[in-house]
């Protein structure tokens, strides 16, 4: 086994996502750690044994991770002085250096993404790796030279860790159930980083530049200027920022042991969870009644980023074919996560989740997660502006845990709706008892539509069995294309055998209606 330990000495990480400068990167991407090791190698003499160790390390594949929870800090603008420059006499400088009034130093706004950590220590683990003595010695030397991971304020201590101090990892490489995509090293990564930096050409250019300015040796000066013109056309060589773009899917370690033996729906139990945070507006929280407004706006925002994606991915996002016809196969569904099932529950939305089809292939999942990563803000008109914050903590709040809503992996026999189940068609019976029976039949058929067995019993009711969930009449109704409204109701479902969710039923199952939650576990 090989493992690296990283202690964040200030109790926070200062590093931003590659595609979002104000969102902190957590967990730290394995590629960022590899680049920190590579920087330590190049900056301290480029020892050949260290290079061999890094080339061996890049061939191992993605590591498992043990990372603590984190709290992103609100982004703050810092006004940072830029490089000194001579002041323009015709334009007074914005800021002057007191000791040297002839120099001006402008200040530019910068944002540094940070997150506070529940624990200072992070571990990267390759369970099957077995470094030889020389390689391990070189890696220990490199770790001792690493001073930061991320921004220069993100100070760290790094070491080769032993198995006894690590415990259990909580994130593993898993493309099929990925909730995050983290950048990782790959064979040839060190060579690519070296090529992007272009060190040899940069050093040669700097030496020639110094010689071209030195008039103590006219012959050498002329030759340097000639070489600068011929080789570099008078311009510095290209030096690109060292980056690694390869990534790999990661999923949290599943709770519980053994394979799923219960019945499953067409949706994956590995929900993608986002917390809701008020950015601006009149409300500190939204009620479940706002579900349709929220899911409609989220869907529109996602589709605005879907141009250029494969047809299958756009269909999975929209639920419609390119011709406008509804998909007959499962697609992306929205799941409201509310504070319910507690004596003091009030039904407010704590977050939202996305349920993906269980049979979705890993490439389509990758595309969808990329689109989800581009939408971090929802503008809901009079309801205000709300941030979508990915929930990746090891033990989040109870109502933000996927297994709370799916009963994964063991399943449950008793389920009840949190949002009302919209009927596919109007029950036609006039007699109340017959109406109840017909509505129960519609809900039982809806179970078959998502791959579940027919429930032994369906109890149709106007109120939810989960404390805090509003009654069905408090929810706005879904409308059909002809303008008519669909009826809906709450229900309790009892199955003969355990069922693993998410259980999403009825005509509104992709838009946040018909969301059921376990009442008991088996």
Q: CA-CA distance, 79 to 235, in Å (whole number)?
A: 31
How far apart are the C-alpha atoms of 407 and 260, rounded to whole Å? 11
C-alpha separations of 258 from 162, 263, 266, 268, 408 in Å: 28, 15, 20, 17, 11
Q: What domains can you pick out in the chain, each with its CATH number?
A: 2-75+113-195 (3.30.70), 199-232 (no CATH), 254-518 (no CATH)
User: Which are the contacts of 291, defined by CB distance < 8 A and separation ≥ 6?
Assistant: 336, 349, 419, 475, 511, 512, 513
Q: Which segments within 180-316 are labelled E, that is strand? A: 180-183, 247-252, 263-264, 272-280
For residue 324, what pLDDT is reported?
Answer: 85
- Helix (H) / strand (E) element for 468: namely none
Give the 3-state secondary structure of 119-141: CCEEEEEECCCCCCHHHHHHHHH
Among candidate residues 271, 257, 28, the one with its CA nearest the CA of residue 151: 28
pLDDT tens by residue, the chain, 522 residues:
999 999 999 999 998 887 777 788 899 999 999 999 999 999 998 899 999 999 999 999 999 999 998 887 766 666 666 655 544 444 555 544 444 444 555 677 677 788 899 999 999 999 999 999 999 999 999 999 999 999 889 999 999 999 899 989 999 999 888 888 999 999 999 998 888 776 677 777 778 888 888 888 888 888 888 888 888 777 777 666 678 889 999 998 876 555 667 899 999 999 999 999 999 999 999 999 999 999 999 999 999 999 989 999 999 999 999 888 989 899 999 999 999 999 999 999 999 999 999 999 889 999 999 999 899 999 999 999 999 988 887 778 899 999 999 998 889 999 999 999 999 988 888 888 999 999 999 999 999 999 999 999 999 999 999 999 999 999 999 998 888 999 999 999 999 999 999 999 999 999 999 999 999 643
Alpha-carbon separation of residue 11 from 68, 99, 160, 205, 392 (angstroms): 11, 36, 20, 41, 18
Q: Is 287 helix (H, G, I), strand (E, B) or coil?
A: strand
Q: Checking DSSP bridges between strand 247-252 and strand 20-24, what pairing results, if any?
A: unpaired
CA distances from 354 to 93, 192, 388 (A): 52, 36, 12
Quick one: which of 56, 47, 44, 42 has its CA closest to 2? 56
C-alpha span between 350 and 277 (Å, rounded): 8
Which of 88, 78, 85 minimizes the C-alpha distance to 106? 85
Q: What angle do CA 239, 242, 243 make, to 5 degrees?
A: 135
Q: CA–CA distance from 299 to each of 100, 314, 428 (Å)?
A: 56, 11, 33
Q: Are 316 and 368 in contact (CB under 8 A)?
A: yes
Cα angle at 94 between 89 and 98, to 5 degrees? 85
Verify cis geometry, omega within 30 degrees of 0, for the bond prior to 260.
no
pLDDT in tens, 245-255: 899 999 988 76
Q: What is d(CA 339, CA 349) in angstroms, rounded to the nearest whole number?
A: 6
pLDDT at 89: 45
Whether 315 and 385 have beta carbons less than 8 Å apart is answered as no
Contacts of 14 (CB under 8 A, 6+ apart): 24, 112, 113, 114, 150, 151, 153, 154
End-to-end CA distance of the chain: 37
Residue 299: what pLDDT? 96
β-bridge partners, 378? 386
Helical residues (DSSP H) of 392-431, grouped into ranges: 402-406
CB-based contact 192:46 (threshold 8 Å): no
pTM of the model: 0.79
452 Cβ contact list (under 8 Å, min separation 6): 263, 265, 495, 499, 503
Sign of CA pseudo-dihedral 85, 89, 95, 100: positive
pLDDT of residue 486: 94
User: Residue 411 carries which DSSP code?
Assistant: -
């Amino acid at each position: 086994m090989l493992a690296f330990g990283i202690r964040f000495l200030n109790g926070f990480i200062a590093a931003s996502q590659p595609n979002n400068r104000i969102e902190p990167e957590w967990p730290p991407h394995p590629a960022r750690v590899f680049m920190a090791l590579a920087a330590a190698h190049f900056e301290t003499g480029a020892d050949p044994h260290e290079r061999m160790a890094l080339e061996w390390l890049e061939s191992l594949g993605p590591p498992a991770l043990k990372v603590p929870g984190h709290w992103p800090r609100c982004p703050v603008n810092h006004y940072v002085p830029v490089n000194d420059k001579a002041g323009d006499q015709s334009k007074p400088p914005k800021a002057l250096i007191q000791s040297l009034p002839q120099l001006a130093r402008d200040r530019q706004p910068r944002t540094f993404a940070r997150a506070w950590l529940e624990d200072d220590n992070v571990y990267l683990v390759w369970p099957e790796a077995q470094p030889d003595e020389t390689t391990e010695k070189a890696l220990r030397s490199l770790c001792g030279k690493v001073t930061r991971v991320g921004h220069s304020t993100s100070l760290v201590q790094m070491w080769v860790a032993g198995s006894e101090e690590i415990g259990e990892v909580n994130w593993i490489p898993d493309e099929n159930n990925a909730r995050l995509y983290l950048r990782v090293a790959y064979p040839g990564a060190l060579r690519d980083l070296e090529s992007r930096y272009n060190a040899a050409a940069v050093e040669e250019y700097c030496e020639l530049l110094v010689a071209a300015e030195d008039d103590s040796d006219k012959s050498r000066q002329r030759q340097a200027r000639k070489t600068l013109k011929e080789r570099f056309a008078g311009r510095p060589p290209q030096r690109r920022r060292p980056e690694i773009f390869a990534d790999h899917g990661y999923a949290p370690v599943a709770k519980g042991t053994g394979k799923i033996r219960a019945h499953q729906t067409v949706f994956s139990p590995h929900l993608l969870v986002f917390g809701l945070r008020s950015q601006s507006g009149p409300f500190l929280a939204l009620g479940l009644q706002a579900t349709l407004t929220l899911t409609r706006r989220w869907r529109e925002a996602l589709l605005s980023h879907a141009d250029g994606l494969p047809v299958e991915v756009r269909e999975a996002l929209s639920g419609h074919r390119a011709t406008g016809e509804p998909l007959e196969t499962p697609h992306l569904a929205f799941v409201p996560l509310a504070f319910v099932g507690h004596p003091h529950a009030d039904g407010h939305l704590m977050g939202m989740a996305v349920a993906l089809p269980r049979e979705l292939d890993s490439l389509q999942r990758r595309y969808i997660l990329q689109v989800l990563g581009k939408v971090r803000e929802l503008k809901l008109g009079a309801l205000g502006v709300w941030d979508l914050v990915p929930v990746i903590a090891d033990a989040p709040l109870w109502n933000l845990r996927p297994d709370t809503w799916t009963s994964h992996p063991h399943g449950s026999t008793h389920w009840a709706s949190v949002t009302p189940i919209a009927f596919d068609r109007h029950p036609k019976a006039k007699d109340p008892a017959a109406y109840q029976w017909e509505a129960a039949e519609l809900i039982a058929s809806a179970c078959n539509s998502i791959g579940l067995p027919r429930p032994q019993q369906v109890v149709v009711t106007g109120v939810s069995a989960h404390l805090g969930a509003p009654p069905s009449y408090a929810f706005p109704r879904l409308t059909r294309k002809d303008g008519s409204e669909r009826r809906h109701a709450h229900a309790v479902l009892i199955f003969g055998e355990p069922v693993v969710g998410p259980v999403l039923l009825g005509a509104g199952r992709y838009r946040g209606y018909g969301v059921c939650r376990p009442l008991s576990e088996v």
